[in-house]
Amino acid sequence: MTTSDVTGMTVPELQAALQDGATAAGIAEAYLDRIAATDGTLGSYLHVDREAALERAAAVDASGNAGTGLAGIPVALKDVVVTAGVPTTSGSRILEGWKPPYDATVAARLKAADTVLLGKTNMDEFAMGSSTENSAYGVTRNPWDPERIPGGSSGGSSAAVAGGLAPWAIGTDTGGSIRQPAALTGLVGHKPTYGSVSRYGLIAFSSSLDQAGPMARTVLDAALLHEAIGGHDPLDSTSIDAPLPVLAECARRGADGDLSGLTIGVVRELGGEGHTDGYEQGVLDRFTEAVALLESLGAQVREVSCPAFDLALPAYYLIAPSEASSNLSRFDGVRYGLRVGDDGARDLDEVMALTREQGFGAEVKRRIILGTYALSSGYYEAYYGQAQKVRTLISRDFNAAFDAEGTGVDVLVSPTTPTVAFPLGSRVDDPVAMYAADLCTLPASLAGVPAISVPCGLSDGLPVGFQIMAPALADDRCYRVAAALEAAQDAARGSRFLDQLPSRVAEGAA
């Protein structure tokens, strides 16, 4: 087995290799070598501990468990996931050098499953952004074209998985940060139903929206990772105390491709007639072709109108910064990471102000100011209160689409993003253009419903994502439809989606 064989495998292929005599240490080494050779260009990791990963892999080999479940499979975690004894920065200077004393539940569950942590991935600071250019530690590049962004805020995770630097990774999605980077790098990314994956130990951005989920090369891989991290957690007060639906089995069955009996609603407000402003034609074409493919597999398709979706962007950009301004108040230079100006001559307020001034980047400051303003008395009803009302209207649109007596749809679909990956630097000084990258992903976030992005072809040689949204707790439907689409497209192409990655990039550069 060569390194490139190993780093191109799906998780079931890695499991089979382990059962066939490959070692967890050998697999970890193949990934670590590839990281060493190519991550100087990609910039997908913030922290890799080669020795620790190899030691852990050797321990799994020694236990004799490698190849059972996820034992011995490497994994990467977005740096917003707290890891005991392993540096965790959330992409911010203010947390530089912080080694958390505990594991997030997501990290603990993956550890308990005997996966091998390769490292922590780059991200927009505190998960605020759509391009990973807001990281305090440098940009991450898209393996499809290193002059373009890998999406954000989970762009380190998306670039690592697409580039073969991890078989899969954990991302977090507050307004689209799993689905949008997955779409722009040709991956499968799923935002679970709000409350179905624990938030314990995720550094909070907007608590009523944040959700961790899988980013993977195939729908089945995503389902396997989701099953490993999901389910009730008493340490998270918003965790849903209900069993996770069966996901991997659903992905396997979905790949059989029979969608008869399923009704798909195409959301008019997300790229439909009269709503194409800002959408690239290539994205709309790939989306339309994918809908036709699903129809050919037996699904009923009709257009559905969700009028309040038009207001998702302004509502999100009031709610998320409001919650962020409150969550980020804990970074005061006293408890964690950076402390500036503590020279004995300055009082506590000055030290806090200096620390926050130097520790936070421009986008984070913009959100804190915006959120504090929106929450201030006198403006609360005009901004935050109104945004919460819009949030309710968006939930009602979803309910109406899914529940309508006899005429309800099973899933709603749209493009995942209005455009393909944009060039580095092209939007970073224009926050509103950057925010527009989330146009299609925000409604599901605000309503707390599950949504998946699955590749649906290329436009100008760059990946296009197809989004499938389902009612709360029906994450299995997302996987079923995504698996059917993936299988039909793979069959038509005769290869997996990522096999199209240009080899000059796949080879990477040291």
Segment (H or E) for 455 = strand 451-459
- Binder to ligand GLN among 177, 193, 325, 327 (CB under 6 A)? 177
Is 177 known to be catalytic?
Answer: yes
Span interacting with ligand GLN, options 128-136, 306-314, 456-464, 490-498, rule CB under 6 A: 128-136
Encoded one letter per residue, x for contact with ligand GLN by CB under 6 A and - for no contact, window 32-71 reads ----------------------------------------
| φ, ψ for residue 340, nearest 5 deg | -115, 135
* 128 lies in the binding site for ligand GLN (CB under 6 A): yes
* 176 lies in the binding site for ligand GLN (CB under 6 A): yes
**Which member of 92, 131, 135, 153 is catalytic?**
153
HEC-encoded secondary structure of 391-410: HHHHHHHHHHHHHCCCCCCC
In the three-class reduction of DSSP (H, G, I as helix; E, B as strand; rest coil), residue 450 is classed as coil
145 bridge partner residues: 142
Amino acid identity of residue 48, one-letter, is: V
Contact present, 186 and 219 (Cβ < 8 Å) = no
CB of 441 to ligand GLN, least distance (A): 8
Q: 314-333: b or e for each residue (b if 16 or more CB lie within 10 Å)?
A: ebbbbbbbbbbbbbbeebbb
Look up residue 329 and give its DSSP letter.
Answer: G
Span interacting with ligand GLN, options 65-73, 123-131, 413-421, 489-497, rule CB under 6 A: 123-131
Is 78 known to be catalytic?
Answer: yes
* 158 lies in the binding site for ligand GLN (CB under 6 A): no
DSSP string across 469-494: E--TT-HHHHHHHHHHHHHHHHHHHT
Encoded one letter per residue, x for contact with ligand GLN by CB under 6 A and - for no contact, window 180-219 reads -------------------------x--------------
CB closer to ligand GLN, 71 vs 447: 447
Give the separation between CA 423 and CA 129, rounded to whole angstroms: 15
Residue nearest to ligand GLN according to CB distances in the complex: 177
Look up residue 194 and give its DSSP letter.
Answer: T
Span interacting with ligand GLN, options 59-67, 124-132, 289-297, 459-467, rule CB under 6 A: 124-132
Structure tokens at 53: 């990963």
CB closer to ligand GLN, 131 vs 459: 131
- Binder to ligand GLN among 320, 446, 470, 506 (CB under 6 A)? 320
CB of 134 to ligand GLN, least distance (A): 8
**Which member of 78, 120, 198, 414 is catalytic?**
78
Give the separation between CA 208 and CA 175, rounded to whole angstroms: 11
Is 157 known to be catalytic?
Answer: no
User: Site size for ligand GLN, by CB under 6 A?
Assistant: 13
* 173 lies in the binding site for ligand GLN (CB under 6 A): yes
What's the length of the chain? 510
Span interacting with ligand GLN, options 47-55, 56-64, 127-135, 267-275, rule CB under 6 A: 127-135
Contact present, 85 and 95 (Cβ < 8 Å) = no
CB closer to ligand GLN, 27 vs 77: 77
| CA-CA-CA-CA torsion sign (34, 40, 44, 47) | positive
- Binder to ligand GLN among 115, 174, 193, 198 (CB under 6 A)? 174
Whose tokens are 């954990």? That residue is: 170
* 315 lies in the binding site for ligand GLN (CB under 6 A): no
Contact present, 215 and 483 (Cβ < 8 Å) = no
* 130 lies in the binding site for ligand GLN (CB under 6 A): yes
Burial of 227 (0-12, 13-18, 19+ CB in 10 A): buried
- Binder to ligand GLN among 26, 91, 129, 265 (CB under 6 A)? 129
CB of 226 to ligand GLN, least distance (A): 17
**Which member of 44, 130, 177, 198 is catalytic?**
177
Which value, in Å, is the radius of gyration of the alpha carbons in the chain?
22
Closest CA to 304 of 261, 258, 263, 259: 263
Ranges within 426-445 binding ligand GLN (CB under 6 A): 438
CB of 480 to ligand GLN, least distance (A): 24
Span interacting with ligand GLN, options 126-134, 263-271, 338-346, 481-489, rule CB under 6 A: 126-134
* 175 lies in the binding site for ligand GLN (CB under 6 A): yes
Measured at the CA of 52, the angle between CA 117 and CA 181, to 5 degrees, comes to: 30
Look up residue 383 and give its DSSP letter.
Answer: I
CB of 459 to ligand GLN, least distance (A): 21
CB of 151 to ligand GLN, least distance (A): 9
Phi-psi region for residue 336, left (φ > 0), alpha (ψ -120 to 50) or beta?
beta
Structure tokens at 466: 């197809």
Binding interface with ligand GLN (CB under 6 A)? 127-130, 153, 173-177, 205, 320, 438
| Residues labelled as active-site residues | 78, 153, 177
